[in-house]
Structure 1
Amino acid sequence: MEHESRTETMGRAAAPATGRPLRDVRTFWRFLLAVITPLPLLAQSLYQLLFPDLGDGDFAGTLNGVAAAPGMVGALQWVGAVFTVTLVPATCTVAWVGRRGAPRLATAGALVAITGFLASALLPNDHLLALVTLRDGLDRGVVTALDQALWANPVVAVASGLWILGLTVGLALAGAALWRSRVAPAWMGIALMVAGPTHPFIPGHIGSAAGLAVGAVGMAGAGVALLRMRDDEFDLPPGGRA
Structure 2
Amino acid sequence: MSESQLAATTEPKAVRAPRDVRGFWRVLLAVVAPLPMLFMGVYYLISPVDGDAPFQETLAAVTADPGRFELMQWLQVPFFLLIPAMFAAAWVSRRRAPRLATAGGLLAVGGMSAGFFLLPGVVGLQYLTVHDGLDAGAMEKLAAAFEKQPTVQIGGLLFILAVTVGLLLLGIALWRSRVAPAWMGIALALGGFTHPFLPGHLAAGIGLLVAAIGFAGASVALLRTSNDSFDLPPTI
TM above 0.5 = yes
Matches within 5 A, 1:67-78: 67-78=63-74
Pick which of 107-116 and 173-182 moved more: 107-116
* Contact map agreement 2:22 2:227 (CA 8 A) in 1: yes
Per mean C-alpha deviation after superposition, the further-off stretch among 102-111 and 63-72 is: 63-72
Letter of the structure 2 residue corresponding to residue 81 of structure 1 = V
Deviations 1:1-48 (A, max 9, x none): xxxxxxxxxxx7xxxx98322111111111111111101111110000
Task: Structure 1: state its 5+ residue gaps.
Answer: 1-11
Q: Which runs of 4+ in 1 moved over 6 A?
A: none
- Of 83, 90, 99 in structure 1, the residue corresponding to residue 94 of structure 2 is 99
Quote how far apart the aligned CAs of 1:125 are: 4.5
1:130 counterpart residue number: 126
Structure 1 residues 103 and 125: CA distance shift in structure 2, 3 A: same
Pair 1:89 & 2:76 matched: no
Question: What residue in structure 2 maps to residue 46 of structure 1?
Answer: 42
Shift of 1:113: 1.0
Give the alignment partner of residue 179 of structure 2, picking from 176, 183, 194. 183
The CA distance in 2 between the partners of 1:47 and 1:186, in whole Å, is 27
Displacement after TM superposition at 1:101 (Å): 0.6
Code of the residue aligned with 1:192 in structure 2: it is: L
Q: Which amino acid in the other structure matches residue 108 of structure 2?
A: A
With structure 1 as the length reference, what TM-score do the two structures score? 0.87
Q: Tell me the amino acid that sits aligned with residue 97 of structure 1.
A: V
What is the aligned length?
Answer: 224
Structure 2 counterpart SS, 1:21: coil
Code of the aligned partner of 1:107: T
Name the SS of the counterpart of 2:124 in structure 1.
helix
- Give the superposition deviation at 1:52: 2.2
* Rounded Cα–Cα distance in structure 2 between residues aligned with 1:101 and 1:54: 39
Please say if residues 62 and 126 of structure 2, whose CA atoms lie closer than 8 Å, have aligned partners that are also in contact.
yes
- How far 1:57 sits from its partner (Å)? 1.6
- Residues 183 and 221 (structure 1 numbering): CA distance in 2 closer, same or farther, change over 3 Å? same
Provide the residue aligned with 1:63 in structure 2.
59
| Counterpart in the other structure of 1:36 | 32
Q: Does 2:198 align with 1:196?
A: no
Q: 1:78 to 1:227 in 2, by over 3 A?
A: same
TM-score normalised over the length of structure 2: 0.90
Whole-angstrom distance in 1 between the partners of 2:61 and 2:121 = 14
2:137 and 2:193 mapped to 1: Cα distance? 35
